[in-house]
Chain A
Amino acid sequence: DAGITQSPRHKVTETGTPVTLRCHQTENHRYMYWYRQDPGHGLRLIHYSYGVKDTDKGEVSDGYSVSRSKTEDFLLTLESATSSQTSVYFCAISESGPNYGYTFGSGTRLTVV
């Protein structure tokens, strides 16, 4: 009965191919975030959303795009995957914004070969 799910959990893709990761929530939270986790860097924000069709860039947004056509879904797209995008991707949700912390999804491990 997890309130936030990510799919797929694991993916291996080839350089240059498009990839879309999905984050789905059942909590009706306004805020959604995509982070990537890399050794030595902690978690870095890629993009975030503060409402349906309202999105903005984070600190490492180059090479990524997002869409949020409905409250429950936040999609992250790698238009043309590169090896530097091999990472673990986490989606997070928040009802009232970062002051109240996040609930995280289980993560997607993406390998670009």
Chain B
Amino acid sequence: AQKVTQAQTEISVVEKEDVTLDCVYETRDTTYYLFWYKQPPSGELVFLIRRNSFDEQNEISGRYSWNFQKSTSSFNFTITASQVVDSAVYFCALNDDYKLSFGAGTTVTVRA
């Protein structure tokens, strides 16, 4: 079975610090897709990024960046110069046959 591991349960930082969320995955597929979702305190799940296994270029969107490394089966997420509004639970996910398989999530708390 596919598997997604987010080893960090909780991360607490002070505003303006950078924070990196780790995501390690297992798959036997040669073509696959990885995702990050954000769940702010209000509870909804917000799509952040989708990356396919053939595109290993890092991606940057504002203060968010993603580092995809196929060699280590990792798809890490960095928030640069964190802000209080970044406080949320972040989920990494992998397409797994008929569904998305999610990691357990990392809770990020950004303190003012």
Contacts and interface: CB of A to CB of B under 8 A. Distances in A.
Interface of A: 33, 35, 40-45, 48, 50, 56, 58, 88, 90, 92, 97-104, 106-107
B44 A98 contact: no
Contacts of A107: 43-45
Contacts of B104: 40-42
**Looking at A43, A97, A99, which has the most chain B CB atoms within 10 Å of its CB?**
A43
Contacts of B47: 101-103
28 contacts: A35-B102, A40-B9, A42-B4, A42-B102, A42-B103, A42-B105, A43-B102, A44-B102, A48-B98, A48-B99, A50-B98, A58-B99, A88-B43, A92-B45, A97-B98, A98-B95, A98-B97, A98-B100, A101-B33, A101-B35, A101-B50, A101-B100, A103-B47, A104-B37, A106-B43, A107-B43, A107-B44, A107-B45
Contact of A43 (B6, B43, B91): B91
A100 B50 contact: yes
Interface string B66-96: 0000000000000000000000000100011
A58 B102 CA distance: 13
Contacts of B9: 40
A97 B37 CA distance: 17
Given A104-B44, A104-B45, A98 B102 contact: no
Interface residues of B, number: 22
Nearest to B46: A104
A24 B94 CA distance: 25
B103 A102 contact: no
B105 A98 contact: no
A88 to B, nearest CB: 7
A92 B35 CA distance: 15
